[in-house]
Structure 1
Amino acid sequence: MSLNKNNILLVFWVLVSSYINAQNNQNIKKDSITVELLEDVIITATRTKRQLSSLPLPASIVLKKDLEAINAVRLSDILNEQSGLITVPDFGGGEGIQMQGLDAAYTLILIDGVPLIGRSAGTLDLDRITVGNIKQIEIIKGASSSLYGNEALGGVINIITETPKYGINGSLQQRTASFETYDTRADIGYKNDQFSISGFINRYSSGGYDLNNNSVGNTVEPFENYTISSKATYHFSDKTDVFFSGRFFTQQQDYIASESLQGESDINEWNMHSKLTHTFNDKWESSLEFYVTNYRASEFLDDTSNNTRFSEATFNQTMIRPEFRTVYKASEKTSYIAGIGYTYETLDRTYFNEKPQFKAPYVYAQYDGNPLERLNVIIGARFDNHNVYASQFSPKLALRYEISPKLAVKGAVGYGFKAPDFRQLYFNFTNATVGYTVVGYDVVSEVIAQLAAEGQIANQVVPVSTFSSELKPESSLAINIGFDYQPTKTLSLQANLFRNSIDNLIDTRVIANKTNGQNVFSYTNVHEVYTQGVEFSTTWKIIKNLQFSAGYQLLFAKDKAAEKAFDNEQVFARENPSAPSFQLESSDYFGLFNRSRHMANGKLFLHIPKWNINTNIRAVYRSKYGIADSNGNGYLDHYDNFVSGYTIWDLAINKTMYKHYTFGFGIDNLFGFTDAQNISNIAGRIIYGNLTIQF
């Protein structure tokens, strides 16, 4: 039988149908089917424990059992299957997350409530994060700067790591997959009434892959990385706990620019996190937290034709953050939270004129209560004072009203901000091969004066005086309105209308022409953009042990200046370079680059207790999107070339034997979709097998 879509889906459907019939035959002898639904608890949305189903915010949870069911190994594996999220590759091959149409730079990534750093070009590479020791992943959509400050303009993803069970326990897993990909991980933990400690190690490697045989080097070069982490908790008493954790990540990867330019890139990251928590009484609890992290990356290229060092670059970022937080529980349904902290960041990077420092004390407060029996209200705000950019005040309001036990409406409005990063302020880079220059906003006057003195400036496009004021943070007003509907115990429906309006978008612009025919670029606040749309998701427990879930997002992401240009009949296009140009209409404007109008997902999970088998089939659809202006008018319109829409199908099956041994098999990208020209993070069909041993 050939490996095609119809055959594989037919086999899976036969298996599901057989199980349904068997279950129905058993149910004839039963009065009812027992359904157990446990409430998921989420922390990220309010920084206190809340039931997910009662939140007034658009939020979701991915549980450990979901990660195990699909045999995920990296964070990008699971986030791609969540409604309204898509991973997109950056120019360096890393994968960032796009949420509600907002770029990866606008989503804050946390591990156990503290942020990861190392965004060399705005993207935090999700492939750095293994899922082997994850308890759950919490996803909050919409501006969350009222609690988390910078980078939470679009939302927050918090990765909660596992804690050990009582006694000694652990696991080992080995996975082998296509493209010489291997994932090996081990964890061990111990817990008693007073003390718990756990350790985790993961090795992940790949032989890389090449989607274009006509290019030099591979699409993704071979790499190897390791993650080592540990955490411990000690209970001094029933009221006082102390927590420590540490994490270390290292990666080495080949770096090939041409036949004669070859080298390596290295990443080393570590963090340490400690927290002392004391409960004074039933109402008051306080914690003192200290977090420090460092991200160091380096790369070099050697010219093999003459055995010389062609280029090398380093990136060394450090963050230190102490924070004091207090929670007051006025009643069972009313709580207040307040915190004060200080963020210190520094970056030592090649192509910087200086070693900048960011210093930002902050304070925040939040009320979470039920002024009416059916009404939940969250009101919060945060103030960030910064030594470089303008101080930010970030308020948020969220409401949820329970119309009936089955139906609730909810809405949230919040302010988020994204501060100018070090690169946008202090960069000073000239491409040695092509000859263009990129300059940070705060060093424009110094660099332009130097280039002019060297006779490299042919024409000044933007006066240097334009850069005398501060580069403003990007800001967003996010609105989310939706409902939760659960007509039966086995069926739930959610819908959410959203709009993110971003002001002071930081973009690149030409500020000068060089005598070599190239340009000098810098950063400036130029655009106002918005993303808006609707999201739907549903979960249906068809029968016991058989569950279907699905999600859909409709997205419109546009630049207001572009809309105005189209409305004013100022935009033209041509079918081909030799054809005459023609005027475009307002309806011809498609929107921002790299955004799909439609995204959808569907998942069918089947558990067969008699055979100790879990199996599932999953599909993710992304409609067409544009990545470049192909007709030269500077905008993405319907006459440009688009990346065609596609669907990725994944299949997984796991069988447990003797309680402690689980064998897994699966095929990711079942039908082998690739797009060598436009999509670098989809390698093709991946066949894998894994063995997990629990003890």
Structure 2
Amino acid sequence: MSLNKNNILIFFLFFFSCLLFSQEKNTIIQDSTKTEKLEDVIITATRTKRQLSSLPLPALLISKKEIHSINSLRLNDILNEQTGLITVPDFGGGEGIQLQGLDAQYTLILIDGVPLIGRSAGTLDISRITVGNIKQIEIVKGASSSLYGSDALGGVINIITENPKNGFNADLNSRSGSFGTYDNSMNLGYKKEKMSITSFINGFQSGGYDLNTEDELKTVEPYSNYTFNTKLDFNFNDKTNLFISGRYYTQNQDYVASENLKGESKINEWNTHLKLSHTYNKKWSSYFEFYATRYKANEFLNNPDNSRFSETDFNQLLIRPEARGIYIPSEKSTFIGGLGWNHETLIRTDFSSQPEFNSPYIYLQYDTNPNDKLNIILGARFDNHNKYKSQFSPKTALRYELSNKIAVKGSVGYGFKAPDFRQLYFDFSNAIVGYTVLGYNAVTTKLPEMEDEGQIANIIVPLSEFEDELNPENSVSINIGIDYTLYSNLKFNLNIFRNNIHDLIDTRVVANKINGQNVFSYYNVHKVYTQGVELNTLWKPATNIKISGGYQLLFAKDTAAEDAFKNGNVYARLTPSSSSFQLKEQDYFGLYNRSRHMANFKIFYTVEKWHLDANIRGTYRSKYGLYDTNGNSYLDTYDEFIKGYSIWDFAINKTFFKNYQLGLGIDNVLGFTDTQNISNISGRIFYGKLNINF
């Protein structure tokens, strides 16, 4: 007997509503005896501790309590449910985060304030990050290069890991679910007087899944990964502190290209982080930080006789020392400044050379409250570089309280994304199709070599155009918002944003080959923008009930495409055999893989006397286009679109004997899948979880 999908959702909503209203009377009585908890504190936005509610920048904070209550496993699980964020798969199988309509390559991902690397195609796969030892996740929207430099053009996501409590404490977690997924983790901590140490181990295994049984390949092949993380914190005295951490990640996955070509994909990543802090007096403090990380990826394919068909390597290293100082001249003002140096290398298959980036930088920020109602932040950073033009990144933000209930805030910042190694040094020729892709810096040497070898029919773009440096992509980001507290338990937040991106790096044909294929390279050309509105609301009708919702309206467009539609230069045909017709200005939809509407809705409920909590969460994404399907190179209203969809998740957790918690849940309750276009949604997932604290 089959059950209608909508009936399943109605059942869970009815069940959840019964729990909610059955406890409403008792909850209201308890409300008068409860004390209001302290404000959430965020660090990422200003690199100093700030109350989230007083921040002049658009920011989100995801607490450890929420992460645990929804029984999430990887970072992509939790980020997908936040307003203005959506995880999108790339062609390599990883998942990047799209923020305010900006590509995943424009969002900087940090762990404890230091960056992750490994963007083989511009996207950093956030599904490789476990959430088992996360204290909180901080998300800052808008250009943040004034503090963080390159890759923070769109925003910053900082994952802050857990610190141990006093004495010895341990946490064991185990979850198993559909598609052969198993997640096991252990967190051990010890803290006493001057020292604390914590160690975390996580193992994750997936049997993969197949959304399309008509072909020979799985959508996601089986894989397993492990994460090891250790942190040591030692206070020499009341003024001097030493922090040391190390993290190691490894993953193995089957790599299958066809029935006859099979192999393996391996990832190994490590990073080490050292920070020595010292407080000189009430006004002055400083610290020295050293960070190093390496990301290595290797994949190979073998023929049926186990001979090697192909093999690729990716080996990236980043070393970064930094010194930072903080000066607090008064209770109302804070200066923070720093200087550092990025040293980065990459050894990769299909590169014309082994490149090396060196980039010294310096930054300064002033945070002041001239009066009780006004907060102003002024900041700037200068990045020098040996391979691209230096960048100056200013930013300003302010927040003003009109009353106890209403505050307005706004920020304007400059962000940039440096050309990556691939865009500068790629030297790749497809052995089957025959095309070639050259990095910008490789064109002047490699193209003449190909011409001497008789591979080139004619050169389209003169070599003289590659004598200058490729410019970093850059953006001016504007955010204007209102915080409105209608009652102490009902809050609204509205944010209007605009990101103007210039010098977008794109590909173009630079030469024709005698085999009929082309040679491609990179260049600065497009100007694009993303703009829209974000609305968040939070309602706590009782101390054990939290209801939240969010909505984003997004317009993401290419200015050159807008001009082409406006000037009547774009045509389309409904079928290959039909005649073409001229498109109007309003027919231009926008950039690929962007939805006009996205929304989320969450209910969290706790029954204290039963030691039980439950939640139901939903997300919605409206239609979007992935390809031009009518041959005019633009996404217009006559193209084929991926239909809008919603995902609903349900989780319930029960605590036994104080230290034991059992969790059950269903992710993707309605069982939504798209076999052709959406590879990162596997279908309905049933799971069970056990947590033990001691």
For the criterion TM > 0.5, the same-fold answer is yes
User: What is aligned with 2:279?
Assistant: 279
Q: Aligned partners of 1:654, 1:555: CA distance in 2, in Å?
A: 36
CA offsets per residue over residues 546-567 of structure 1, 9 Å max, x none?
Answer: 1110000000000000001111
The 1:256–1:494 alpha-carbon spacing in structure 2 relative to 1, beyond 3 Å, is: same
The aligned residue for residue 154 of structure 2 is 154
The match for 1:620 is: 619
TM-score by length of 1: 0.98
Write the deviation string for residues 408-461 of structure 1: whole angstroms up to 9, x where unpaired. 000000000000000000000011111111100001021111111121112222
Hey, what does 1:541 align to over in structure 2?
540
1:245–1:274 contact (8 Å) kept in structure 2: yes
Q: Answer yes or no: is 1:459 the counterpart of 2:424.
A: no
The alpha carbon displacement at 1:16 in A equals: 4.1
- Give ranges in structure 2 of 5+ residues lacking alignment: none
Q: 2:17 & 2:524 partners in 1: Cα distance?
A: 57
- CA separation of 1:451 and 1:406: change in aligned 2, threshold 3 A: same
Identity level (%): 64
Residues 230 and 246, structure 2, Cα contact 8 Å, conserved in 1: yes
Distance 2:72 2:37 in 1: 24
The one-letter amino acid of 1:107's match is: T
Structure 1 CA distance for aligned equivalents of residues 28 and 461 of structure 2 = 79
Q: Deviation of residue 50 (structure 1)?
A: 0.2
Equivalent in the alignment of 2:587: 588
Distance (Å, rounded) in 2 between the aligned partners of 1:653 and 1:623: 28
Corresponding position of 2:142: 142
Residue in 2 that maps onto 1:104: 104
Counterpart position of 1:362 = 361
| Residue matched to 2:387 | 388
Instruction: Supply the distance in 2 between the matched residues of 1:116 and 1:17 (Cα, whole angstroms).
Output: 42
Matched, 1:494 2:493: yes
Find the counterpart in structure 2 of residue 245 from structure 1. 245
Partner residue in 2 for 1:420: 419
* 1:560 counterpart = 2:552: no
State the distance in 1 between where 2:27 and 2:77 align: 36
What is the CA–CA distance in structure 2 between the aligned matches of 1:38 and 1:9, rounded to whole Å?
A: 35
Offset, 1:61: 0.3
Task: Assess if the C-alpha contact under 8 Å between 2:110 and 2:159 holds in 1.
Answer: yes
**Offset at residue 465 of structure 1 (A):** 1.5
- Measure how far apart 1:466 and its partner are: 1.2
Q: How does 1:158-557 map to 2 (within 5 A)?
A: 158-304=158-304, 306-557=305-556
Alignment-mate amino acid for residue 594 of structure 2: R
How far apart in 2 are the matches of 1:537 and 1:397? 23
Distance 1:356 1:30, change over 3 A: closer
Cα distance between partner residues in 2 of 1:323 and 1:463: 42
- Segment drifting more, 12-21 vs 541-550: 12-21
Deviations 1:168-190 (A, max 9, x none): 00111111011101101001000
Cα drift, residue 29 of structure 1: 6.5
The superposition leaves residues 344-397 of structure 1 with CA deviations (integer Å, 9 ceiling, x where unpaired) of 000011111111100000000000011132100000000000001000000000
Per the normalisation by structure 2, the TM-score is 0.98
Check conservation: 2:9, 2:670, Cα contact below 8 A.
Answer: no
Q: Are the aligned partners of 1:27 and 1:33 in contact in 2 as well (CA < 8 Å)?
A: no
Q: 1:25-81 deviations in whole A, cap 9, x for unaligned?
A: 437868947462430000000000000000000001001001001001100000000
Conserved? CA contact 2:592–2:626, under 8 Å? yes
Q: Are residues 1:61 and 2:66 paired?
A: no
Q: CA deviation at 1:543?
A: 1.9
Residue deviations 1:197-230 (CA, integer Å, cap 9, x gap): 0000000010111111122221101101000010
Stretch moving more, 110-119 or 505-514: 505-514
The number of residue pairs the alignment matches comes to 694
1:626 Cα deviation after fit:
0.4
What is the CA–CA distance in structure 2 between the aligned matches of 1:497 and 1:398, rounded to whole Å? Answer: 14
Structure 2 distance, partners of 1:651, 1:2, is: 20
Q: 2:418 & 2:579 partners in 1: Cα distance?
A: 43
Which position in structure 1 is the counterpart of 2:644? 645
Letter of the structure 1 residue corresponding to residue 511 of structure 2: A
SS of residue in 2 equivalent to 1:404: coil
- Distance (Å, rounded) in 2 between the aligned partners of 1:561 and 1:37: 51
The offset of 1:9, in angstroms, is 3.8
Q: Is the 8 A contact 1:216 1:257 kept in 2?
A: no
Name the CA shift for 1:17/1:648 in 2 (closer, same or farther; >3 Å).
Answer: closer
Amino acid at match of 1:419: A
Query: Matches of 2:27 and 2:225 in 1, distance apart?
Result: 50
Given the superposition, is the C-alpha separation of residues 390 and 486 from structure 1 closer, same or farther in structure 2, using an over 3 Å criterion? same
Q: 1:161 to 1:3 in 2, by over 3 A?
A: farther
- Measured in 2, the distance between the counterparts of 1:257 and 1:581 equals 38
Q: Is the 8 A contact 2:332 2:370 kept in 1?
A: no
Deviation for aligned residue 1:19: 4.0
* Rounded Cα–Cα distance in structure 2 between residues aligned with 1:30 and 1:67: 25
Mapped partners of 1:446, 1:609: distance in 2: 70
- Cα distance, 1:307 vs structure 2: 3.6
The alignment partner of 1:575 has SS state of coil
Match of 1:81 in 2: 81
Contact 1:33 1:544 (C-alpha < 8 Å) held by counterparts: no
1:44 aligns with 2:29: no
Trace 1:104-123 onto structure 2 (pairs within 5 A): 104-123=104-123
Shift of 1:17: 3.8
> Which amino acid counterpart does residue 474 of structure 1 have in structure 2?
E
> Is contact 2:197-2:230 (8 Å) kept?
yes
Match of 2:78, SS state, is helix
CA contact 1:401–1:408 (8 Å) conserved in 2: yes
- Does structure 2 retain, via aligned residues, the 8 Å contact 1:79–1:86? yes
